[in-house]
A and B are shown apart, each in its own frame.
Chain A
């Protein structure tokens, strides 16, 4: 990209002589406003979540929020089962998606011949484009029965959710990892190959370590993507608000995530009720978690190194 130098670095023009001066001024200010709007919007999102959700943190005692019973009809708003549900599904998704995503990125970036890359990259974009409700529907009608037939008591489990979520997080992980691999200077590879390393040794000992900060970011954003997914997990995780028994078996129990709880219950609550506030409170928790993950990832990118805005 040659055009990175900013026009601000050029001397200001004598604009007083142009007849379109006032029009120009209006347009430039509108553009500036559009730029700043991103900051305004995210601030407003947080303020509106607070406005509706704040009562939850005042009126529900903290000990209740951290209890293990989510039973809104009896005003029991223990968030632990929902946190546990989100955590299990997300961890499962990450465990599946990270090895798959990194490997695919390595294949795309280092091994695949150009013609395969031309086909595969749009293909990964197609995956990113499949609506979550369609993947959820697929999980519901095809995957869950399959998992059940393999011996689980029910096909609607945390594992089913993890599997679907993993594929939803894959495009993010793949594309960011690939960017990171691409950013490793060619000299590193040439040097390693020149002293007799095989291609695999070069990838494993030189390229991957050099790209590790980008890979960490890829994993973080993949986590952020997985934790916020709603419709797919709502359809396939069974929606049971219990704290699952810990251990490996937890993956094969029905769980309910924070996102699915909001989606499933918001339609039925009275506006302004405590239950309504608590659902917004869960929204605040989700906002803070994803904000922390994304800000941290941006911080890691850091320095003067510019990357693509919205997708890092």
Chain B
């Protein structure tokens, strides 16, 4: 085999293998779409499950996931953005900074089920929040932190140093500089990170298994101290725990969950690419 032939062959193989990675993703999405689309209706989205969950809709689970995602945002955004500001603007090259970075890498690597155990041990039992939206949101919030921190830090670092120097030289304090110059310019990047993180949190099942999720609730939650149904857990329940569950409802639920999570991911990606195009520096 000549060099040219091996070159040809290699490129061909690499392209084919990349297709093996990409095509199944398409298949999964199209499969859910194809099988689930006929179930989707306004009634499916706006009605509670009926008749042992074999009829009706997914409204309580959908609402629970919206509550949980909002709760996650409240828990994770201040802490995550604060930590990102610290790392990008304040942290020196010292032991503490290295410890923080190591901690963030490891927070990102801890299995989601271990977050679930921690949430159970700390929020549900130790702080006595019980199985509740509060405990679930805090657990998901901690899990989302590393995504928010790393994207927000990158966004802050990408603001040109000149902006800071000019602001400081005009007499602004360091915090004024961060607040009025750095953060506004980093905002689109920070928002991207937040949405990506929230999208991931919305689709997680393992962290909410023992901290918030209810198999079936006749009433909607009234406060953050109540249990709630949630879409990912609902899918797990109807796929494996309910005998005689019509497949259509399962596909429909999976499709709605996929739609929510993917549209969040898509919005985040769009914000990022628009921002890159518009950037003035």
Contact = CB atoms under 8 A, between A and B. Distances in A.
Contact of B109 (A10, A266, A293): A293
A198 to B, nearest CB: 4
Nearest to A170: B21
Interface in A267-302: 267, 271, 279-280, 283, 286-287, 290-291, 293-295, 297-298
B89 A311 contact: no
A194 interface: no
> Among A44, A106, A136, A310, which residue has the most Cβ atoms of chain B within 10 A?
A310
Interface residues of B, number: 107
Binding site secondary structure of chain A:
helix
A311 B150 contact: yes
A38 B83 contact: yes
Contacts of A13: 168, 173-174
B219 interface: no
A240 interface: no
A34 B142 CA distance: 12
Contacts of A131: 202-205, 232, 257-258, 261
Interface string A141-174: 1100000000000000000000000010010001
A294 B106 contact: yes
A123 B25 contact: yes
A229 B51 CA distance: 33
A34 B113 contact: no
Contacts of A104: 17-18, 21-22
B276 to A, nearest CB: 11
Interface stretch (B38-46, B56-64, B152-160, B221-229): B152-160
Contacts of B157: 1, 3-4
Interface in A54-112: 99-101, 103-104, 106-108, 111-112
A107 B18 contact: yes
A27 interface: yes
B262 A141 contact: no
Nearest to A262: B113
A138 interface: yes
A148 B52 CA distance: 30
Contact of B105 (A167, A266, A298): A298
B78 interface: yes
B83 A138 contact: no
A2 B4 CA distance: 41
Given A2-B160, A133-B203, A135-B28, A49 B117 contact: yes
Contact of B14 (A103, A134, A312): A103
Contacts of B104: 38, 309-310
Contacts of B168: 10, 13
A231 B149 contact: no
B36 to A, nearest CB: 11
Interface string A8-47: 1010010100101000100110111111111101101100
Contacts of A229: 111
B232 to A, nearest CB: 5
A140 B239 contact: yes
Interface string B222-264: 0000000000110110011000000100110010011001101
B274 interface: no
Given A103-B18, A131-B205, A133-B235, A294 B109 contact: yes
Contacts of B29: 126, 130
Given A31-B82, A41-B107, A266 B146 contact: no
Interface string B161-178: 100100010000111100
B111 A52 contact: no
Given A137-B239, A310-B149, A52 B203 contact: no
26 contacts: A2-B161, A18-B173, A20-B175, A28-B90, A28-B174, A31-B82, A31-B90, A34-B81, A34-B85, A35-B83, A36-B100, A38-B100, A45-B115, A48-B126, A51-B121, A108-B18, A111-B11, A125-B265, A126-B29, A131-B232, A228-B113, A230-B111, A263-B209, A286-B113, A309-B153, A309-B154
Given A39-B103, A133-B236, A286-B111, 7 more contacts: A3-B157, A7-B174, A18-B173, A34-B81, A35-B86, A126-B262, A167-B24
Interface of A: 1-8, 10, 13, 15, 18, 20, 24, 27-28, 30-39, 41-42, 44-45, 48-49, 51-52, 99-101, 103-104, 106-108, 111-112, 120, 122-138, 140-142, 167, 170, 174, 198-201, 203-204, 221, 224-225, 227-231, 235, 259, 262-263, 266-267, 271, 279-280, 283, 286-287, 290-291, 293-295, 297-298, 308-312
